[in-house]
Structure 1
Amino acid sequence: MQVISELQELLRLPDFRKLFAVRLVSQTGDGMFQVGLATLFFFSPENASTATGVAAAFAVLLLPFTVVGPWAGVLLDRWRRRQVLFVGNLVRVVITLAIAGILLTSGVGPVVYVLALVDLSINRFLLAALSASLPRVVDGPLLLTANSLTPTLGAGAAGLGAGIGFVLGLLLEPGRSKDATVLTVAAILFATASLLATRMGRDLLGPERRTDAGQMRAALQNLARGLVAGARHLRERQTPARALGVMATHRFLYGVVFIASILISRNLLADPADPAAGLRTFGTVLAASAVGFVLAAVLTPVLSRRTGPHAWIVYCLVLAAVSQLLLTVTISRWALLAAAVALALAAQGAKIAVDTIVQRDTDDAFRGRAFALYDVLYNAAFVGAAALAALVLPDTGYSPALFALLAVAYLTAAAVYGARAPRTARHP
């Protein structure tokens, strides 16, 4: 297959291999970290059995990076990105071990939640650094394949980490020591990712121009001005700004469906009094989504080259609309899983194309800010989706009228973006 041969070409690039290793190990640890949070926030007996509860949990998880994101952009355009990967993973080691220690001594409390939010915010910062660094180790047509495979395989690594954490939870005795052990293993993986980052040269990942301490302070003091300059740059380039706009729209609509899936899994397709059964049901939804992500990684490099990345985004939005129309007809388990596969394929396929457009059409000096703005929009859209879900979703999560409206919204987004997208080059 073409994608396999191109992956082999990528793996022949030594700098790509080093960056890719950092991503895989770091995201495996993140999967272990997040599986514990998911169980705590969404599938514990006392939490998140209502639309409002799930929406509030997502807002708490995502709002911090929505605030931190703009600062990340300024720093990623001035700090050595290799050092960001090194130091950021080390900080995660310290925070994760601190959480494990608090769980052993005091149990779950406000400090655990605060530290968990900081840990997740650092992870989003690291992911932005990884995305901004990729064009420094890959260029030309292989960049599309790299954008397709690295986030998807990174998500697969996170899934592997989540699976390891779940298995450890089954093998270990219930209690505080079980949670602390899982977190300790995650911390070991973060430490490994930090060490792997040292295999790369300090200047390999850019940025090309750096500033001294005084200039850095001035840059931070003029954060708003820098972000406005970054946004103006994206708008002047046109295609990155439009791509970010359609991504935010897609993410908003996807967020409503994701929250509905949690509620449907817990309260409709399983006994609401049995959160463990709801977790198993939602696990099958996540597995179906993983299939869609893999399909996106395989299909996008092939089909996007034929259609062009802009047309591919339109096709993905149409596929997302079809997935929602299916849920207006039935909410049986097979329909939910089929819709999850289709929507994940659409979401990840569009994201791959958006990543490529933003990377290709943004100057390196602005690329860090571009991806920080990307993550701010990405998370803010999901927070907005959570607010909408809290208002319109029943606690069972199922509303045929809402799914129909989501389908119409996807089709409208496809029509608007398709009408304004350039039609010149097919290849990114």
Structure 2
Amino acid sequence: MVVRRSRNLHAALAVPAFRRLLAVRLSGQFTDGVFQAALAGSVLFNPDRQATPTAIALAAAVLVLPYSLVGPFAGVLLDRWSRRSVTVWTNTLRAALALPIAAMVFLGSEGGLFFATTLVVIGLGRLLLSGLSAATPHVVSDERLVTANAVAGTTGSTAYSLGLGVALLLLGSVFPAGDTGYAGIALLAPVGYLASAALARFSFTRAQLGPDQVAPHRAGVVGEAVAVVRDMADGLRHLRRARGAAYAMAAQAGFRVLFGVLALAMLLLYRNDFAGDDLDGVPTQLGLVFAAGALGVLAAAALTPPVTRRIGGWRWVTGLLAAVAVTLPVFGLPFHPLLLVVLVWVVNVAGHGIKIVVDTTVQRECADAVRGRVFAVNDTTFNLAYVLGMVLASRFIPDDGRSPTLLGVAAVGYGCLAVGYAVAGGRWARETGNGGAHLAAAMTSVER
């Protein structure tokens, strides 16, 4: 098994185009970590601002909800425009918009314009990641998609976590704590975004990343709007036919709702309970949490390809959901910082393992002509579910984040998801006659 895993990893990394696409992803996600650490620090960990459950949930909604509502329409761009061009221009625009955001952080002007501009930057980032996922089948063979997704997702999440860590190290050592320091860190973002744009521009030809077939453009705004609606309807109909992908995406959406509940509780516990009256040490304490999350992502990347080859993707997703349901009350209910770090590791193993299975299922079951739209729909539900979980939890969770009842409900929810997906996924596997091993068949044949 170890030899096969190593063979798949070397085979994927041996492809120059995949390495270049990976470099584009890593440079962008590392910069995301640095930039978003500056934003989060200026908003959440500033002693001059109150961070209640409702305030945190509303901030998440402002940043994510509008893009989530228009995300499927953005996905049409991935199937109509050169994905290389989308990658170049999204990074370039993000670099330009990071400058006024840094100025607003420096001035302490974090009102509607700040959130609106930040929304655009984060929305462009979501579009970029969807485009990179849709482009992956153009640079690796179908037999290596599981490993390629594991490598891309793992190293991307790790790069993001490293970006967060670098920002935390710079704060206090290079930049002063407070608005000036957070603004200085935010000013580093344009360099990273422009580097990612340059890598994409000079590493691929315009058509190399797809789409293979481009829908003709209609004249006029109305014609384009009608075309978008029709294209989206086609994409949704295609997803209904690809029920394996639909079931996996639904399970991931349910996971994200409950993850939003847990994320809100974690932020409140560290800010308003564990820290006491000293907020200066909160970012450092959360660094341990981010490190546990990164290790969980690494573990999921190492485990998911061999496990899915052996038991099939749907069984692996079911097991991950069940594992969270069991460990949540054990490590969460004591409300101890060290036990919560262990819980974060388990939840991130589950979340990233599920994401690898979902991405691979969409890539395998959905035609390239609609793949970008399906990935955008998946990305939209991914973020919308997270905000929904936060908003729902904010109505019931106390300011210090301690709510045994809410954690119990989350554990029961994960258990129900595990049972529901086991039934739906198992039925689909039997109907298609692949026994749940549809993620592994091609890879296994090559390894033999």
For residues 93-133 of structure 1, the C-alpha deviation after alignment (integer angstroms, 9 at most, x for no partner) is 11112323455578544333221111111101101111111
- Say if 2:324 is the partner of 1:320: yes
**Match among 409, 423, 436 for residue 419 of structure 1:** 423
Q: Which amino acid aligns with 2:61?
A: A
**Match among 357, 380, 385 for residue 384 of structure 2:** 380
Partners of 1:5 and 1:106 lie apart in 2 by 52
Q: CA deviation at 1:211?
A: 3.9
Partners of 2:373 and 2:18 lie apart in 1 by 22
Q: Which amino acid aligns with 2:253?
A: A
**Match among 46, 58, 64 for residue 60 of structure 2:** 58
CA contact (8 A) 1:86 1:194 kept: yes
TM-score (norm 1): 0.94
- Say if 2:226 is the partner of 1:196: no
- Say if 2:150 is the partner of 1:148: yes
Partners of 1:201 and 1:41 lie apart in 2 by 40
- Say if 2:176 is the partner of 1:179: no
Partners of 1:91 and 1:339 lie apart in 2 by 37
For residues 258-277 of structure 1, the C-alpha deviation after alignment (integer angstroms, 9 at most, x for no partner) is 11111111222221x22223
Identity of aligned residues (%): 36
**Match among 255, 264, 276 for residue 250 of structure 1:** 255
Partners of 1:133 and 1:237 lie apart in 2 by 19
Structure-1 residue corresponding to 2:345: 341
Q: CA deviation at 1:176?
A: 5.3
**Match among 82, 85, 89 for residue 83 of structure 1:** 85
Structure-1 residue corresponding to 2:246: 241
| Pair 1:103–1:253, CA change in 2 (3 A) | closer
Partners of 1:165 and 1:351 lie apart in 2 by 26
- Say if 2:362 is the partner of 1:389: no
Q: Which amino acid aligns with 2:34?
A: M
Q: Which amino acid aligns with 2:261?
A: V
Structure-1 residue corresponding to 2:446: none
CA contact (8 A) 1:74 1:220 kept: no
Q: Which amino acid aligns with 2:88?
A: F
Partners of 1:413 and 1:134 lie apart in 2 by 29
CA contact (8 A) 1:328 1:404 kept: no
Q: CA deviation at 1:328?
A: 5.5
Structure-1 residue corresponding to 2:268: 263
Q: CA deviation at 1:162?
A: 1.9
Structure-2 residue corresponding to 1:278: 282
CA-atom RMSD, angstroms? 1.9
- Say if 2:357 is the partner of 1:350: no
Q: Which amino acid aligns with 2:244?
A: T
Partners of 2:180 and 2:54 lie apart in 1 by 31
Structure 1, 220-229 or 238-247: larger mean CA deviation: 220-229
TM-score (norm 2): 0.90
Structure 1, 232-241 or 396-405: larger mean CA deviation: 396-405
Aligned length: 427
SS in 1 for 2:187: helix
Q: CA deviation at 1:179?
A: 3.4
Partners of 2:146 and 2:199 lie apart in 1 by 24
Partners of 1:183 and 1:292 lie apart in 2 by 27
Partners of 2:188 and 2:150 lie apart in 1 by 29
CA contact (8 A) 1:267 1:278 kept: no
Q: Which amino acid aligns with 2:51?
A: S
- Say if 2:291 is the partner of 1:287: yes
Q: Give unpaired runs (5+ residues) of structure 2.
A: 440-448
Partners of 1:112 and 1:391 lie apart in 2 by 25
Partners of 2:109 and 2:388 lie apart in 1 by 32
Partners of 2:247 and 2:100 lie apart in 1 by 42
Structure-2 residue corresponding to 1:359: 363
Q: CA deviation at 1:348?
A: 0.8
Q: CA deviation at 1:172?
A: 2.2
SS in 1 for 2:218: helix
